Amino acid sequence: MALAALSGDEQLVIFSRLCNPLDPGVAVAFSSASSELWELTQAPRQQLQADYEDATALGCKAGKWSCMLLSEATDLGWYRTGLSSDDLALLGKLGSVLPALKKLVLNEPAAGPDGVPRLAEKLGAGALPAVTYLNLSSTHVGDAGASALAAALGRGALPRLNILALDSTAIGDAGLLALAPALRRRPALEELVLWDNSFGDEGLAALVAPPAVAGAPPPPTGVLPKLKALYLHGTQIADSGCATLAAALESGALPALAYLQLGGTPASDAARATVRRAGLVVFR
């Protein structure tokens, strides 16, 4: 009786909140409450069925042979299984119904330049709530993907993230400029892997030496207060970037940093030595 008093739009809102591609039974049961509601939800039920089938196929590529196993997984990885950008968009959509997941690895070059942006765009507030480790190694992120990931973090996705691997993901200065503020707002971040990307001194400065806000004191615990390891091998960091790193270490902006990888960059030996002298870090 109470359901009948609601408008069609209100009933659709309730139905949409019940939709879970990994467990569609609740939404289907709700839609069968009346013939009118069954008719009203025909199109979204068809989409839910399609998402369930696609999620089943997606889980199988990660070795999870049912949606139940996928929903209960704590560790998921797709390694060159040929995922498309549509697959990554679906994975983003599933971010709100993977409550146990702690480790997510995507090594999927075939997804192309649209894959990570579409994944990130689907990650709403609180998505992937238990994930502490995200690895997108060798998956094309690019500047657009980095910006989309920054927006997802800003919405509150991945609230427990403390290890982020973005190596060989085609991130340039513009991408790191977009992503850096979102990373600095994650005080639990302990490890950041950025090797073999095309960013250089400008992107690095955005990460470790953001411009001071007029009239505001510097943060008391540093820019990245818990960052222990920073991997920058194979980037385009040169002498200016080394000077920025040295200044950040000397100022206490990276108080927990214990390991820094800076090989394979255009920086001179003298500039790297300046960084080495600036902080008590294991340096390569």
**pLDDT single digits (tens) 154-181:** 999 999 999 999 999 999 999 999 999 9
Last residue of a domain, one of 52, 70, 88: 70
21, 47, 70: which is the final residue of a domain?
70
For the ranges 71-75, 120-124, 279-283, which has the lowest average pLDDT?
A: 279-283
pLDDT tens for each residue of 98-140: 999 999 999 999 999 999 999 999 999 999 999 999 999 999 9
Q: Do 94 and 12 belong to one domain?
A: no
> What is Dmax (Cα atoms) for the chain?
78
Q: What would the two tokens of residue 117 be?
A: 């942006």
Q: N- to C-terminal Cα distance for the chain?
A: 69
139-149 burial, b at 16+ Cβ within 10 Å, e below that, comes to bbbbbbbbbbb
pTM: 0.92
Does one domain contain both 101 and 216? yes
Which residue range(s) make up the domain with 182? 71-283
Q: What total number of domains does the chain contain?
A: 2
- Same structural domain for residues 190 and 222? yes
Kindly state whether residues 11 and 116 are assigned to the same domain: no
**What average pLDDT does range 60-85 have in this prediction?**
97
Are 61 and 182 contained in the same domain?
no
